[in-house]
Structure 1
Amino acid sequence: MEKLQTVFGRHDRPPDGGWGWMVALACFLGLVICTGVSLSTGVMVSYLTPYFGTTVTAMSTAFSLEISVWAFSSPVGSFIAKYDTRKAVVLGGVLSTSGLFISSFATGVYFLYFSFGILVGCGYGMTSSPLIAVLGRYFEKKVGFATALALTGSSLGYIVFSPLYQYLLNEYGWRSTFLVTSAINAHLFVCAALVRPINLASDKTLSPAKNSEKSSSDSHFPVNFKTKLRRLLEKVGCEFMADNLLFLWLLLATFLGDYSYVTASLFIVPYAIDKGIASLPASFLMTILGISSLASRFVFSWIVDLHSVKKIRNFIPAVILLMISSCLTFFPMNDSYTIMAVLCSLTGVCSGIYMPSLWLMAKEVCGPYYGMAVGVIAFSFGLSGISGPPFCGYLYDTTNTYTGTFYAIVAVTLLSVTCYLGIATKLLHRPAMAPVTFV
């Protein structure tokens, strides 16, 4: 009984351990499932396209729709998690598991648009953001280690589920593959059970609306505009954004940075094939990128909380994106498979570090409102995911070469680097006791 009271009782600060490690395990397993299922279902396109007698474009839309819906529904998951993280994860598990199970009875591509694209996408939006955000309630000094270690689940999921899907499709067919996947996905309920509620003293801090009355004279927004904006944001649970100019810059930086983090990876394999490399070794470039990402994320988790690293931690996203843009600059300059593999390896190493460092910066910018901020940032990923690939695809269709596509991605990434540098500089010169939420 004493242990239960310790877990469910009030804490002055995040406990930095204890049951928190089980919560980190829940986040790790949840991301293995969500990321693995989402990013590996592309292998089904070649099986389902001839079965339903449709086009590759129409079939791939079902799977890309799921990723977009995942991103756009993340703020809803964060909003529910403000009241109960466990219920948010359970709801996400019900939606995603049901969607995968129903997909096994699909009769056409439009059926999959709903069952997989919408149901599974909404389920993962309700699951992933709350699991990432709840780590900030259990960890403070070790939040970097816990976050980076949990996020290795994203890389591991991609590596594990791709060959698993291929085996299931070859042995049992696509309907049974969806059924087995739904059973695996049901383990999200185990993740929900591990997320015990925790009460922190900071939960009773001043609300954003009251806090803004004290800082209205220093606000960067006109009073009338700020009032209208706050009323709108209050309706969706994001009222803290009305005064947090630094967070708005962070949203812009993540939107632009996602062009290199995700969009570029979509064109690496097509570029290699365009240069005369066979499809199988070309696809292995993404495996190299995934393994490198997993390794770097694991190593980063052990060093991110070192005192010497903490001093420069907010500059890491800018430096990492600058290194990714350098790798992407050299891609169109060669047609050697060896060099491409080396560049993919370096890009993977940087990608593995980028996402944990981004969430750590978001926690410092948003403070106690980090939970809701995770969902809003994920929403910006969705905007970038929708606008990036069509724009880069249009450049290729217009120029009939991937050179302009890669250079456009580099240009957008450099804009993101500038935003990240500005945010890191602002945080560096902020007084030690200054509030982290409003600027």
Structure 2
Amino acid sequence: MRIEKLTDIISLQRSVEQANVDHLTTVRQVIEDVQKNGDEALFNYTEKWDGVKLSSLQVTKEEVEEAFASFDPQLIQDLEEAAANIRAFHAQQARQDIDFPLAKNSYIQYKISPLDAVGLYVPGGTAAYPSSVLMNAIPALVAGVNRVVIVSPPSKDGKLPASVLVAARIAGITEIYKVGGAQAIAALAYGTETIKAVDKITGPGNSYVALAKREVFGKVAIDMIAGPSEITVIADHTAFADEVAADLLAQAEHDRFASSVLITTSDRLAEQVAVEVEKQLLLLPREEIARASIENFGRIYIAESLEQAVEAVNDLAPEHLEIITEQPEELSKKIRHAGAIFIGRFSSEPVGDYFAGTNHVLPTNSTARFSSGLCVDDFVKKTSIVYYSEEMWQEQYPKIARLARLEQLEGHARSVESRSWDKGDSKND
């Protein structure tokens, strides 16, 4: 890994796949085809791109039961415990309605309502991500969403990975479809003969999926346009080089465009981590991917002080931040911008990815400056309710009318003034 002195601004420009013009053209064609031809388009694209000819899109109850029966009992127990942790943490995020009384028997309220239906995209193909099922499904269910749907591309055998189906059963999701890519996003947004449209789409995917989510935004809501994974580690002389290197590679193995950054006050640690990264790369099953990430978007920066390191992190606003220093908790209080923060030697980022209970769907590409990770709030909507009594109206309407006329909206003024007191009891005689 390249070692550099830390300057005021860290710049690691990454080629964002989502900007690929050819991909965008394809995505738009797919969306139009699905809108026009429904299920037929889904079957055709699944055969073309996933290499499997399906007779049915929906996963059957028998397929789920078969997956569950064949799965490692220890892994089932692990997934169940992870799900319980995620559910317990997200339950604390649930909002309550707000009832705010006003004078003269009037009131305003803030009503929290779950979305009717959401679609969860779970990546597939060469890998399986049961953790994505839990992280997306559980907050939606905690929020009270009535219909939660999973879409995921099938393997060559025409099935979804057993781990995905097991996680879906543990989460409590029964409506699951074997379709991926931009066509799955289009189906969730516009509906087909088999797949009924939803109100919001969440979950990560490749560039085609990300572009499709952007294209259907407005017809449905989406969680975010996620970019490649990122980690920044702040470490001092107390950190162990082999552990830091492993943490950097844990993100690098995700994607060729992933970014792994170490900011340290220790010259010695910087040199040791660079050696360790190379040593561990040779033993990593996904070495080719991780090496491309490290060579292009991996950096080790030497900071003059931890204060300078914190300033750099707040500029970078990384998806994941680990703090491995003598007093990590104190340092964490100075961080303003990060998707998730992992404090201390034993809180490496995968703890949050899989088990602690926090959500691993997080903002990337420095969007942690203004956005947050997936949570229960993403699956509810808020409605304000206003009730004015006649007495309250009489007291307030002149003020409201004046403000309306200030903005030259005479119709607004007349609307509030039209509740005349001299109309008597007759309503529509």
Interval containing the TM-score (normalised by the shorter chain): under 0.3
Give the greater-gyration-radius structure (CA): 2
TM-score (norm 1): 0.24
| The structure with more strand, counted as a fraction of residues | 2
Which has the bigger relative contact order, CA under 8 A and spacing at least 6?
1
TM-score (norm 2): 0.25
